[in-house]
Amino acid sequence: MKAFHADRQPLVLPQGHRFPATKYRRLRSLVEAWPELDVREAEPAPDAILALAHEPRYVQAIAGNGLSAAEQRAIGFPWSEAMVERARRSVGATLAAARTALVDGVAANLAGGTHHASAARGSGYCVFNDVAVAARAVQADAAGAASGSAMPRIVVIGAAQLGPVARGEPRAQVVERMEALLHEAAACSCDLVVFPELALTTFFPRWYFETEAELDGFFERAMPGPETQRLFDTARRLGIGFCLGYAERVEEGGRVRRFNTAITVDKRGTILARYRKIHLPGHAEHEPWRRFQHLEKRYFEVGDLGFPAFRASFGPGKAGIFGMAICNDRRWPETYRVLGLQGVEMILIGYNTPVHNPPAPEHDALSHFHNQLVMQSGAYQNGTWVVGVAKAGPEEGVEQIGNSVIVAPSGEIVGACTTTGDELAVARCDLDLTASYKTTTFDFARHREPAQYRMIVERKGAIPPDP
């Protein structure tokens, strides 16, 4: 039998408070060793689920510390982020147990009943009414099944653009900036936050380093590591997943290897998937004529993991198929198509892109247009959401584009950053919107003719036809 709990977020209560907050953890410690029980931590109930039984104003007041002193007294708990998280997960546990029982015949909730709350007011140590919310949710599930539809799979995305990161800026300071964006995202009920490529440091490939000791200071040997564990802890406490780009140093096959890497992390702080950048731009040798270098081909190996799509869930009704790409990957149609052939529904992309292109300065004025063009076309031609997030602004004398966007499967931009600093763009992304493109214009199984595309994989460079 499956049993669900929500006791990992300790309530911060005044000394001598009468509520026995430890009873839930003590109960779990007693029963989780029973072989017949499969004890699982509940996911937090999102706003859309809570709003099935509560007024949206009340849900937002709870999330954003907007309760009056009288409302807090009625609940019996002082407001804290831990209280909000605990309340959401308590409802999530009841809902998970209800849905599981409808499938398995029986399930248990160790999180306790919080059924004294009304639609717009908490009461008697109850913040949200878990019974009412769960009942409304399973009713909605049944109604959707009867009509041949289901509740929309809406994932609230935060595109967390970063402004410049100085060469001497400590990682701890960068992580602090990222944590601030996570808190902003939590206030917007985000499920998943996407950070840029090489988010933890300045874009170091713009310099030529003669020694590995100089270079390795920009790389992470573990993820999470001593300086990034805080980011994982904060995201887990807030109940937000994230995608992070960084420089990865590993020892494999008896040698040191370096990759431009991205990971996706779920709401529990677990790394779900890893991607290593494949389309490395720039050059491998020092070119002093350039105003700045672009030595990705020198400092990184070509990624060796392919373009894997993966399944992920960021809460009840928020499961889908995701993929990752990094910076220059977004300019290549193969990136989107390989992911599209795996049914991808959302592609997460971080980038560092200078406005100036030394080999082709005539492209500079088109940098923003090209940035949007490739992601909008990739989204539309593969029926997928695309989230592109920049590290932007004047970084160590190099102007980098911002233009972070969230693109719908239609190719339309539905969210965007408007500055070149630290900024969050938010959009509610219905993963089911991908279906109308994947089953019509871009029904690959029906319309593609791969036998006619062999040249794409057999030939690397362009060879003109004979005269």
Active site residues: 197, 277, 327
Helices (H), 147-288: 171-187, 212-216, 229-238
- Any idea what DSSP says for residue 329? G
Identify the CA nearest to 63 among candidates 235, 239, 187, 156. Answer: 187
**Contact present, 320 and 164 (Cβ < 8 Å):** no
CA 320 to chain CA centroid, Å, is 12
Q: How far apart are CA 386 and CA 196, in angstroms?
A: 14
* Residues 257-295: b if buried by 16+ CB within 10 A, e if exposed: ebbbbbbbbbbebeebbbbbbbbbebbeeeeeebebbbb
Q: How far apart are CA 90 and CA 239, in angstroms?
A: 13
- Any idea what DSSP says for residue 431? G
Grouping H, G, I as helix, E, B as strand and the rest as coil, residue 454 is: helix
Q: Taking the CB of residue 412, how many other CB atoms lie within 10 A of it?
A: 11
Radius of gyration of the chain (CA): 24
Task: Quote the tokens at residue 156.
Answer: 């609230």
Distances (CA, A) of 227 to 200, 231, 407, 459: 10, 8, 32, 43
**Contact present, 401 and 368 (Cβ < 8 Å):** yes
From first CA to last CA, the distance across the chain in angstroms is 73
Using omega within 30 degrees of 0 as the cis cutoff, is the peptide bond preceding 164 cis?
A: no
439 CB contacts (<8 Å, ≥6 apart)? none
**Contact present, 269 and 236 (Cβ < 8 Å):** yes
Q: How far apart are CA 240 and CA 160, in angstroms?
A: 13
Q: Determine the residue type at 113.
A: G
Grouping H, G, I as helix, E, B as strand and the rest as coil, residue 375 is: helix
Q: How far apart are CA 34 and CA 18, in angstroms?
A: 30
Q: How far apart are CA 300 and CA 400, in angstroms?
A: 21
